[in-house]
Structure 1
Amino acid sequence: MVSERTTRPALLRSAVVPLVAAGLLAAGLISTTDRPARAGTRPADEGPVVRVQAKDRLAPLSPYLTGVNIDQWFGNSHGLWDPVRDAPNPEVVAKTRRTGLGMVRFPGGTSANLYDWKKGIGPTAERGCQTDGSANGGAGVLDSVYGPDEYMEFVAATGTEPEIMTPMANSTPADAADWVEYMNAAVGTNPRGGVAWAQRRADNGHPAPYGVKFWEVGNEPDRVNSQNYWRSTDPVIAARQYAFGGSQAQVGQRLARGCDRRPAASAGDGKPGQQLTLYYPPAVPGSQTIKVGGAVWSEVADLSAVGPDEKVYAFDPKTGAVRFGDGVHGAIPPDDAEVRADYTSGPKPGFADFYDAMKQADPAIDVCASWAPVTVASGLGNASFAELMARAGRAGDYDCVLIHPYTNFLRDFGDADWETAREGHDEHMLGEARATSLVRDLQADLAEHSTGQAYVGISEFGALWFGGQGDVSAYPSWTTAMSHATYMASQWTRYAQLGVPWVLGNTLISEAPTGLRAVLGGPSTYVYTVDALVREQLAPMLRAGGASVRTSLDGNPQVVPVEPEPGFGPSYDALTATATVGADGKLRIVVVNRHPDQAVTAKVVPAGYRHTGQAKVSTIAGEDFTSFNGIENPDDVQLEHSTAKAGSGDFEYSFAAHSVTVLELSKG
């Protein structure tokens, strides 16, 4: 619940208050940026200025700025779906509504890269099995209980906007277009012929179209060492394959047994008439070599024409099915003998093929590409997706490009542990600036190469380890503490200024009760984390509509990390900020103070906006930058409200350490 306490009142004063004590400056913890004085600004040594140009509108303010990814669709999505009630979990619904989330993604990211939506509709007992996209199915066979219709029921219950990732590793453009029809076509229409998917949806109890506008094709295809699937591990080749499709040799690959891709599934079971399947059909006819227990077996057109001991198989290159004999016609692969295949996968479709088919199904949707490398190893610096499309004469044939600008502590900082909590806090903030630069650069790339109205969106972001985590006992609460919350809030201020129309961060629920960057922790406690509080704090601003306005910071204090990070510069900004003028006429200013233990007093200049002099203030801070809400301490950090006098023009405000603050002003 929201606290009405004012234990951290804003300090709004008419006199100039020094930024920090001389002793702090001498200690080297903070230095002010040395900038020359300019007309209308104060010298840097007089403290920072948050300057809001209220009449300089940047972009419409998106209600989808604080959306969320869902990292698991199977297993009832970490308890989001209640299979007994056959309905969304009411506790998750209530807490999600409280956060004011704008958008929710389905079926998710890596785990959904091999998802088959057609197996996730209809009566639950009749649905098919699924293959986990992580580690090429290493998690085994997955269920289809929480499918597209259940997802939309959750969307309706929470008042959020849907966003769908359609897999492409083993899906076709026709599959994706069918999904668009199922979700959006009116009953009685059949835009592309074939199956009447709108009627199928109605038969499943949902006559009205869902109207899903936002779609993305593939998840992180630029992660060429972990999510390349059929594509090359060379990012230059893989980029073209993502955009336009093609063929690719597969060497020594195991085979699947139905939905099962675990290593044991690719071994003979001693039974007659076994059938296995290539991972990535279709295959170029005649390109395959099938080995059983390391020995090459031969293809035959008709198993019924061979003897009992012949080591042969029948093959369908379109489906990738490999059928073995029954001991009468063709030999049976020995029990536990591993079956592997060399073959050329293809020709496979690319984004351009998906785009054409999906747009034919519904021209009104936005179809987003997802090739946006974030490292040199994944293709950053090579020809971009937008550049490749322009070269092919298709510069206007995409609506958006999505990026996942994660801060990866292991990858970005090169070590797998933190010696102190402060080191962890500093790495959050240093990484945040780099993440913003990736988004800004992608926007510039689209501006250069796109001939349409393509925009940049974000379907995942956050700060994490991505595996390889060592000893973080110095900061065990890092996943949901104030450090993480101020990281997320900083990104939201940046993205509002950049005009990013929708942004999905973290995950809604994690597998573990303690939560891994999860907005609501994990089952069955569903803790309302600090991340959730910040989303709740920003929701009134996002729901008010209007537009973001130009906001700048002069003399921004610089925080010096306790551990030098040469690749990130000597310091990071203490403050980030954004401001909006809502459709209701109110000016809302968001300021994040990332300094771990010092308040920052700044002059706030609402240029071009005459206000009443009464400010509504909301603040989230906690006692320390390591403060968090957990199972044993669900209310340690709260959203606090207060009011204060701010004169009729410029005013000063003392931003608490490690805090997120929203100042709301009304027209005078």
Structure 2
Amino acid sequence: MVPDRRTRPFVLRSAAALVTCGMVAAGLAGTADRPARASTPSDEPPIVLVQSTQLLAPLSPYLTGTNIDQWFGNSHGLWDPVADAPNPDVVEKTRRTGLGMVRFPGGTSANLYDWKQGIGPTAERGCQTDGRANGGAGVLDSVYGPDEYMEFVEATGTEPEIMTPMSNSTPADAADWVEYLNAPVGTNPRGGVAWAQRRADNGHPEPYGVKFWEIGNEPDRVNAQNYWRSTAPAVAARQYAFGGSQAQVDQRLARGCDRRPAASRSDGTPGQQLELLYPPAVPGSQTIEVGGAAWTAVADLSAAGPDDTVYTFDPVTGAVRFGDGVHGAIPPDDAVLRADYTAGPKPGFVHFYDAMKQVDPSIDVCATWAPVTTASGLGGASFAELMAQAGRPDDYDCVVIHPYTNFLRDFGDADWETAREGHDEHMLGEARATRLVRDLKADVAKHSTGEAYVAISEFGALWFGGQGNVSSYPSWTTAMSHATYMASQWTRYAELGLPWVLGNTLISEAPGGLRAVLGGPTNYAYTVDATVREQLAPVLRAGGRPVRTTVHENPQVTPVEPEPGFGPSYDALTSTAAVGADGNLRIVVVNRHPDQAVTAKVVPAGFRHTGQAAVSTVAGDDFTSFNGIDNPDDVQLERSGLTVGADDFEYEFAAHSVTVLELPRQR
């Protein structure tokens, strides 16, 4: 609760006195994610202390990037196949947000993506395999491919970032992709196909120049996205890093791009060919079963009789071919076709890194083994530690993490009795997400002797499929609660100096827009998330550097439902600030209190300003307020000017709000 300031006097020392009295030196200042606390309750108001001379790592314009989690189906209307161009409505709204970076081809569903099937004339492109469990939606299209993605990037002024699948592709495939996107025409770094010329033939002679690449998506999600790797986290971590072999047991065969269970059943036709899910296979390790009975491998079907239950097998491609009823038996109609085999040897991150860097040494190639739970490997040997033990501490450019707040996993229930409970869980989970990132950053710094950094290609707050009854807060996915969660994370990541951060997804499959910046088709609502990104864009694109910012006497918000393991309360305010290349100081303050404004003293220590401030605020009438299809303008970006005086000043930060105060430097 914030005390009523009308009932008490206010006294504050000057900014200089505040610093010289030893608050920072004595350790009372805290950090952006662990604010300073007095030993006893104080009547003093909160203090947003901006130490403008304590510069941190450069502020990245890519801090408010986003994922494109599904490329198929024209990426939910992002691509217009009739016009063969990006959807102009999506382009306009994306540009308006000031979005920093966009990821392709996405996350889980793209883990088996084959980029070579997605280039060239659309009618000649191949199919894609859904990376989700049991083949997901089955066979997927390749209409929106790498060139279409880059056309969208160029139209929106965003930076590209590519997730390179590794479970069904090779380091050579990834190196070819780098060559296709980055090599000048007339060069062919590794011989073979002239991929730069192929790009030019497809309509783009100039290199795209994609700098940021990550290898795999959430490989630490064992039992969900381990694919060929072991389900034991310690084993899977080494396999991700260095490759290896792994037994595959009772695994259904695939039929081309289709990995759904139905595709592994015989259709009764002659000469059927199916494939292992994860070739190559160790020669001789396979057992192929038809309807539960093992058949026999032969070198050639031509010598087999019509009733011989035999097959041929290529361990390199994983192709399994059955007879035609004359030379070898036809598997009975509807019989399930399965295999036991040892997949491998499969490549690991180091092999992808070496091959891609050979083509373009200037790119950043990032690892993605960054567990967030004990079950997924948190607490075991980290990726950075494994690389150091192998004598390769510098052979990666960054480690990517997905520090989601998972309501079901983190809080142990599947519903909210009230909207306030949902709001509280957003804010409590946000602090945990920050700890995960900070700990990973420290781990990379400890084990890397180079300049490896930490980045984020997905984050946000959601249920991950375990959602129960949340009718008390149906708008939660795009409401002010989620927007203040995101803004809080951006303040943390600015001060941690992360070079790029991708949060939520650009477009959702559903019109309601699950954690989507622009909602879903066909309306593409300009959500509160989009509005806050627009608000922060001038801060991020002003250049310059963040400065150390702390909140003293931070008001505490008590959750309506106790949440064991998350503490009795959460901070009302988060804040960051930056001095831009123009010399102006921009201060971001997020008030996460659901229903109370907070009046704080803003202390721009060491910064002489003109006494005038440009103010922007995103709030809404309630923490449940949102912009949707039927109410597209409920939450607006409000701008105003304010006289604040020449030194410290008080400001009332509205409940559930994001505020930016820009102070021009006194010339």
Query: Structure 1 length as normaliser, TM-score?
Result: 0.94
Separation of aligned partners in 2, 1:262 and 1:186: 40
Separation of aligned partners in 2, 1:15 and 1:148: 62
Separation of aligned partners in 1, 2:550 and 2:298: 71
SS at match of 1:389: helix
* 1:96-126 deviations in Å (ceiling 9; x for gaps): 0000000000000000000000000000000
Residue 626 (structure 2) aligns with: 628
Following superposition, the deviation at residue 139 of structure 1 comes to 1.2
Residue pairs, 1:346-385, within 5 angstroms = 346-385=344-383
1:172 pairs with 146, 158, 170, which one?
170
Residue 3 (structure 1) aligns with: none
Residue 654 (structure 2) aligns with: 656
Residue 477 (structure 1) aligns with: 475
SS at match of 2:197: helix
Residue 408 (structure 1) aligns with: 406
Runs of 4+ aligned residues of structure 1 deviating over 2 Å after TM superposition are 14-18
Contact residue 479 and residue 627 of structure 2 kept, 8 A: yes
Separation of aligned partners in 2, 1:261 and 1:615: 58
Separation of aligned partners in 2, 1:61 and 1:500: 8
1:16 pairs with 10, 30, 47, which one?
10
Report percent identity of matched pairs. 83
SS at match of 1:568: coil
Separation of aligned partners in 2, 1:280 and 1:637: 48
Separation of aligned partners in 2, 1:240 and 1:88: 41
1:110 pairs with 103, 108, 131, which one?
108
Following superposition, the deviation at residue 16 of structure 1 comes to 3.3
SS at match of 2:507: coil
Residue 143 (structure 2) aligns with: 145
Contact residue 37 and residue 552 of structure 2 kept, 8 A: no
Contact residue 33 and residue 558 of structure 1 kept, 8 A: no
Contact residue 312 and residue 324 of structure 1 kept, 8 A: yes
The one-letter amino acid paired with 1:428 is: H
Residue 546 (structure 1) aligns with: 544
SS at match of 2:106: coil
Contact residue 185 and residue 209 of structure 1 kept, 8 A: yes
Residue 522 (structure 1) aligns with: 520
The one-letter amino acid paired with 1:127 is: R
| CA root-mean-square deviation | 1.4
The one-letter amino acid paired with 1:242 is: Y
Following superposition, the deviation at residue 47 of structure 1 comes to 1.3
1:250 pairs with 228, 233, 248, which one?
248
Following superposition, the deviation at residue 504 of structure 1 comes to 0.1
2:88 pairs with 86, 90, 98, which one?
90
Following superposition, the deviation at residue 138 of structure 1 comes to 2.6
Contact residue 270 and residue 333 of structure 1 kept, 8 A: yes
Following superposition, the deviation at residue 458 of structure 1 comes to 0.2
Residue pairs, 1:518-597, within 5 angstroms = 518-597=516-595
Following superposition, the deviation at residue 45 of structure 1 comes to 2.4
Separation of aligned partners in 2, 1:652 and 1:501: 32
1:35 pairs with 35, 38, 52, which one?
38
Residue 6 (structure 1) aligns with: none
1:188 pairs with 177, 186, 195, which one?
186
Contact residue 134 and residue 261 of structure 2 kept, 8 A: no
Residue 5 (structure 1) aligns with: none
Residue 24 (structure 2) aligns with: none
SS at match of 1:661: strand
User: Is 1:60 aligned with 2:58?
Assistant: yes
2:79 pairs with 78, 81, 86, which one?
81
Query: Structure 2 length as normaliser, TM-score?
Result: 0.95
Residue 21 (structure 1) aligns with: none
User: Is 1:323 aligned with 2:321?
Assistant: yes
Separation of aligned partners in 1, 2:174 and 2:350: 12
Following superposition, the deviation at residue 44 of structure 1 comes to 3.9
SS at match of 2:234: helix
* 1:328-366 deviations in Å (ceiling 9; x for gaps): 100000110000000000000000000000000100000
Contact residue 136 and residue 229 of structure 1 kept, 8 A: no
Contact residue 36 and residue 551 of structure 2 kept, 8 A: no
User: Is 1:303 aligned with 2:305?
Assistant: no
Contact residue 218 and residue 368 of structure 2 kept, 8 A: yes
The one-letter amino acid paired with 1:573 is: D
* 1:60-93 deviations in Å (ceiling 9; x for gaps): 1100000000111000000000000000000000
Separation of aligned partners in 2, 1:44 and 1:132: 56
Residue 459 (structure 2) aligns with: 461
Separation of aligned partners in 2, 1:161 and 1:34: 40
* 1:542-590 deviations in Å (ceiling 9; x for gaps): 1111101100111111100000001101000000000000001110000
Following superposition, the deviation at residue 34 of structure 1 comes to 5.0
SS at match of 2:137: coil
* 1:409-455 deviations in Å (ceiling 9; x for gaps): 00000000000000000000000000000000000001100011000
SS at match of 1:531: helix
2:47 pairs with 28, 46, 49, which one?
49
2:195 pairs with 183, 194, 197, which one?
197
Following superposition, the deviation at residue 194 of structure 1 comes to 1.0
1:158 pairs with 145, 156, 159, which one?
156
Separation of aligned partners in 2, 1:549 and 1:132: 44
Contact residue 78 and residue 523 of structure 1 kept, 8 A: yes
Separation of aligned partners in 2, 1:70 and 1:187: 29
Separation of aligned partners in 2, 1:121 and 1:15: 69
Contact residue 34 and residue 44 of structure 1 kept, 8 A: no
Contact residue 587 and residue 661 of structure 2 kept, 8 A: yes
Separation of aligned partners in 2, 1:628 and 1:306: 68
Residue 224 (structure 2) aligns with: 226
Contact residue 33 and residue 44 of structure 1 kept, 8 A: no
Separation of aligned partners in 2, 1:513 and 1:608: 48
Separation of aligned partners in 1, 2:136 and 2:487: 35
* 1:353-381 deviations in Å (ceiling 9; x for gaps): 00000000100000000000000000000
Separation of aligned partners in 2, 1:191 and 1:650: 59
Following superposition, the deviation at residue 15 of structure 1 comes to 7.7
Following superposition, the deviation at residue 136 of structure 1 comes to 4.2
Separation of aligned partners in 2, 1:130 and 1:371: 25
Contact residue 64 and residue 501 of structure 2 kept, 8 A: yes
Separation of aligned partners in 1, 2:37 and 2:262: 64
User: Is 1:503 aligned with 2:501?
Assistant: yes
Separation of aligned partners in 1, 2:42 and 2:324: 83
Contact residue 613 and residue 661 of structure 2 kept, 8 A: yes
Could you say if the C-alpha distance between residues 288 and 278 of structure 1 is closer, same or farther in structure 2, counting changes exceeding 3 Å?
same
The one-letter amino acid paired with 1:340 is: R
Following superposition, the deviation at residue 457 of structure 1 comes to 0.2
How many residues are treated as equivalent by the alignment?
638
User: Is 1:312 aligned with 2:310?
Assistant: yes
Separation of aligned partners in 2, 1:448 and 1:542: 29
Separation of aligned partners in 2, 1:547 and 1:33: 23
Contact residue 17 and residue 601 of structure 1 kept, 8 A: no
Separation of aligned partners in 2, 1:191 and 1:218: 24
Contact residue 45 and residue 555 of structure 1 kept, 8 A: no
Separation of aligned partners in 1, 2:396 and 2:42: 44
Residue 395 (structure 2) aligns with: 397
The one-letter amino acid paired with 2:361 is: P
Consecutive unaligned residues of structure 2, counting only runs of 5 or more, are 13-34
Contact residue 37 and residue 554 of structure 2 kept, 8 A: no
Separation of aligned partners in 1, 2:286 and 2:230: 18
Could you say if the C-alpha distance between residues 297 and 17 of structure 1 is closer, same or farther in structure 2, counting changes exceeding 3 Å?
farther
